[in-house]
Amino acid sequence: MSNETRGLLLHLEKALQFAQLRNNDELKALALYNYGITLWKADRHDEALQKYEQARRYEQRLPRNLKGALLLDTGSTEAQVAETPEKKKAAIALVDQAGTILRSKGIEEDPYFLSFNLDSYHLTRSQALMAVGRNRDAIDELELVKGGPERPRKQMYKDIFRAQAHANLGEYSEAASFGESGLVISQEINSVRNIASVERMYRKFPRGLFKHDDDVARLGYLLTKKKKVSKR
């Protein structure tokens, strides 16, 4: 675990203690939710899920945007660790509950900066669908995300997720094409985490594929060029 992550977890532990002293269920849930997000980013999915489940104890007393964001990330994380068809189905059902909240009466103001909106829902749902093996459905879900030059981060995630879904299906030319697009944006905004995700995807391509596919060769070249520049 990085020192930065340790520092964040320490602050979140203090925030949770403060919420408990105040006996404020909303603040308790928020601290636990952010705790889970931090653990998830550190690839500690099982521990993240434990924090999300603790936060859900207060679910019925939460504002709709916090409840929806909590359900969305809980379901997505459950999809990442689910091993049986029943658990996979339950995980997607939880994600869909968040979508129901978004499509109903509307969401309150966002004092916690959760960014709980339809685009984030579609992106997260696509990840969950890929996790349970529904890659075609994930690609269809991503078509609902509004990207474009004016939304570079959303376009980056949309392209990288599409690349991963196609790679999962063995469609490596399409995966490389979308991966290249996502990589370019990732480099422009210096998103190290997403550059690394494109590299991981590329490393799992069949060996020697670049010799027969121009899109794969171009992606490999861009990744190699990136590494040379970073060493200077």
| Residue carrying structure tokens 């705790």 | 35
| Domain shared by 163 and 76, yes or no | yes
Measured CA to CA, the distance from residue 91 to residue 200 in angstroms comes to 25
Give all strands (DSSP E) within the chain, no chain letters.
none
Give all strands (DSSP E) within 98-203, no chain letters.
none
| CATH code for the domain of 8 | 1.25.40
| Domain shared by 7 and 50, yes or no | yes
| Domain shared by 144 and 93, yes or no | yes
| Domain shared by 208 and 149, yes or no | yes
CB atoms within 10 A of CB 86: 9
User: What pLDDT shows up at residue 232?
Assistant: 38
Last residue in a domain, options 13, 33, 62: 62
Question: DSSP for 130-145?
Answer: HHTT-HHHHHHHHTTS
| Domain shared by 102 and 38, yes or no | no
Measured CA to CA, the distance from residue 174 to residue 171 in angstroms comes to 6
Instruction: Write phi, then psi, for 213 (nearest 5 degrees).
Output: -135, 120
| CATH code for the domain of 174 | 1.25.40.10
SS3 111: coil
| Domain shared by 54 and 165, yes or no | no
Pick out the chain residues at pLDDT < 70: 1, 105-109, 226-232
| Domain shared by 55 and 71, yes or no | no
User: What pLDDT shows up at residue 147?
Assistant: 87
CB atoms within 10 A of CB 148: 10
Task: Please report, for residues 48, 97, 228, the alpha-carbon distance to residue 45 in angstroms, rounded to integers and kept in the order given.
Answer: 5, 21, 33
Measured CA to CA, the distance from residue 195 to residue 211 in angstroms comes to 23
Q: How far is CA 222 from the centre of its chain?
A: 24
